[in-house]
Structure 1
Amino acid sequence: MGTQQYFGGSLTKYQLEHYEANGYLVLNDLLSEEDMDLPKQAMMEKVSRIAEELYTDGLISDKLENLPFKYRLTELFKGMTDKEFLKYGRSWRDRIPGYYHLMSNPKILDAIESLIGGEIFSNPVYNVRPKVPGVAAGAVPWHQDKSYWPDANSNPVITVWISFVDATLENGCLHLKPGTHRKKLLKWHEESRTGTGYTALREDQLGKAPTVALPVKAGTAILFNDRLLHMSTPNQSDGIRWSVDLRYQPTDQDPMVNHGAGFLARSYEYPERVATLEDWLHNKAEHSSELTSSKD
């Protein structure tokens, strides 16, 4: 596709300047309860699948179907080990319709359009993260998102981190270092102590930039550059800190197919190619209309 020509979007001049200077931007209350409903249903569907498997394997005797969204997964894994939880992954990337609706949400795309223009590709690296109390996968070490695609010719890649419950200091909100998006990709190592395999940086690589903690209300989005240093702390509460991190980039950048199938989320140049839910469910990056005719 061609170079982006159209820049519209929803961000103000002040917000754009803040993002440019600091490498991140907080959009309070970006999503409403209605916006979050279908993604939450997708999360609950995944939890139900896990509960069914645990029940079938004889690891639980009660699928706890009546427990609320914030607590059910914690209770299902109560008394089990990190290894048993990590069998299902440190984060989830299932193709459940609610996630497509989230990634295609116009409120998110409008904000992204302000930063990269109107030709928007939804990167295949999206994560649904249930930060469960006491489970190693919950704490994420200091890193740059770029460390997960070091060889990809994709710049910029913008992360949109959204909390589906109130993210607090207690349950492990996001922490970041403003201005560090100007750093090159730092030499990282794979975290080995917890079995999560997260990419990680050493303390002496973090520099002197101050750390900013970002407790936010549910529905708030935090946008940041893929070179920005960030981390999150363990969940010390009794409920799950549910969040998602989505990623977007211009359409003329590397689609990173080795990470899966992303999709064309918005295009003014080729609107007919924007991927539908059915396209996404079938791992198609774009929509293609096949004209068929029949004669009686």
Structure 2
Amino acid sequence: MKGLTIDQIIHYQTEGYLIAEDVLTDEDLQPVIDELEQEIDKRARALHAEGKIAELHEHESFERRFALLHAQCPEIGKGFDISDYLGDAVFRFLGNDHLLDVVECLLGSELSCNPIQHLRAKLPWKPGANAEPDYFQNVPWHQDCAVTSVDSDASEIITFWLPLVNATAETGCMEVMPEVSKLGYLKHRKEGGTTIVPEQLPHVQPVLAECRKGSIVIMNKYTPHRGTTNTSDIVRWSLDLRYHKLGAQSGRSIHPSFAVRSAKQPELVLTQADKWRTLWQEAKLRRAEGKLHRV
């Protein structure tokens, strides 16, 4: 198990975030990228058949093709999150050993995959070329605990954000506020999205969390962070994953958590993608009562 060094763990505990470099290999990430390319191609061909896309851009790279297709028909991005398309490769990656070795250093050997997880395609944006980036392109300052239910306040839920291309200032990496996690939960409100209320926003110099492909930005659930604009000519693809201790409240109990690693009860680990898909499909059929999360 490679995992994290003591110095890295101390940095995470002190600052509320850590950029762990070169955790994942191309072999870890390529199956996910291949699956995304196949999904994009399938959607593009369906929209082409409907006359909504004129040019398929079949020979463009993973980093560029989606933006060219999206410019012709934004519908191609509809329902393109992890819990929507539920791909085999993404499911296998949720239990990737290199990733879980890092998670285990912070949460122990009994691990559950949290259902709050996202795939994001941050599109290129040029001043004057299109509208201002919306909430889902540039999420404002927030803490990840804000989108959990209050019954999970005692749960240690850690975010593992990883890019599928280099996340730089140009491609739209995140900014984080160091040490603010020590303040606990800050009040949020809905304003296009979930964001910290202005009067509670700390006056802290943010850190630009540039992160190479294969590296991970790890964040405490109380660490304020936000997105920045992608001014490059490529799509900044990323996965936003969270893990918590097996048996703890997930903060989204209406959606399925599942065991990804257990030294004590390895038989609990979910290894079948079909079963994972069924859990999500059943969850979506159930009507949620009350608020999805505290905000």
Alpha-carbon offset, residue 146 of structure 1: 0.8
Equivalent residue for 1:34, pick from 12, 27, 33? 27
**Residue in structure 1 matched with residue 145 of structure 2 by the alignment:** 146
Alpha-carbon offset, residue 211 of structure 1: 0.2
Alpha-carbon offset, residue 141 of structure 1: 0.7
**Residue in structure 2 matched with residue 185 of structure 1 by the alignment:** 185
**CA distance, structure 1, for counterparts of residue 44 and residue 254 of structure 2:** 27
Unaligned 5+ segments in structure 2 are 126-132, 281-295
**CA distance, structure 2, for counterparts of residue 240 and residue 78 of structure 1:** 12
Equivalent residue for 1:276, pick from 271, 275, 278? 271
Q: How does 1:194-205 map to 2 (within 5 A)?
A: 198-205=193-200
SS of alignment partner, residue 45 of structure 2: helix
**Residue in structure 2 matched with residue 17 of structure 1 by the alignment:** 10
Q: Are 1:97 and 1:281, in contact at CA under 8 Å, matched by a contact in 2?
A: no
**CA distance, structure 1, for counterparts of residue 40 and residue 239 of structure 2:** 15
**Residue in structure 1 matched with residue 116 of structure 2 by the alignment:** 125
Q: How does 1:162-177 map to 2 (within 5 A)?
A: 162-177=162-177
Alpha-carbon offset, residue 12 of structure 1: 1.7
Distance 1:257 1:213, change over 3 A: closer
Equivalent residue for 1:95, pick from 86, 89, 99? 86
Q: TM-score, normalised by structure 1?
A: 0.84
1:83-112, Cα deviation, whole Å (9 max, x unpaired): x566446x4433101111221111111111
**Residue in structure 2 matched with residue 5 of structure 1 by the alignment:** none
SS of alignment partner, residue 152 of structure 2: coil
SS of alignment partner, residue 226 of structure 2: strand
Q: Are 1:92 and 1:129, in contact at CA under 8 Å, matched by a contact in 2?
A: no
Q: Are 1:172 and 1:236, in contact at CA under 8 Å, matched by a contact in 2?
A: yes
Distance 1:86 1:214, change over 3 A: same
Where is the helix percentage greater, Structure 1 or Structure 2? 2
**CA distance, structure 2, for counterparts of residue 262 and residue 56 of structure 1:** 37
SS of alignment partner, residue 130 of structure 1: strand
Alpha-carbon offset, residue 169 of structure 1: 0.5
**CA distance, structure 1, for counterparts of residue 48 and residue 207 of structure 2:** 42
SS of alignment partner, residue 33 of structure 2: helix
SS of alignment partner, residue 141 of structure 1: coil
**Residue in structure 1 matched with residue 292 of structure 2 by the alignment:** none
1:70-89, Cα deviation, whole Å (9 max, x unpaired): 001100022556xx566446
CA RMSD of aligned residues (A): 2.1
Distance 1:145 1:282, change over 3 A: same
Equivalent residue for 2:260, pick from 235, 254, 265? 265
Distance 1:57 1:190, change over 3 A: farther
**Pair 1:77-2:70 in alignment:** yes
**Residue in structure 2 matched with residue 47 of structure 1 by the alignment:** 40
**CA distance, structure 2, for counterparts of residue 240 and residue 19 of structure 1:** 28
SS of alignment partner, residue 41 of structure 1: helix
Q: Are 1:9 and 1:113, in contact at CA under 8 Å, matched by a contact in 2?
A: no
Alpha-carbon offset, residue 122 of structure 1: 0.3
Q: Are 1:131 and 1:138, in contact at CA under 8 Å, matched by a contact in 2?
A: yes
1:104-130, Cα deviation, whole Å (9 max, x unpaired): 111111111111110000001111111
SS of alignment partner, residue 231 of structure 1: strand
**CA distance, structure 2, for counterparts of residue 114 and residue 92 of structure 1:** 25
SS of alignment partner, residue 71 of structure 1: helix
Alpha-carbon offset, residue 144 of structure 1: 0.6
**Pair 1:215-2:210 in alignment:** yes
SS of alignment partner, residue 63 of structure 2: coil
**Residue in structure 1 matched with residue 227 of structure 2 by the alignment:** 232
Identical residues among aligned pairs (%): 29
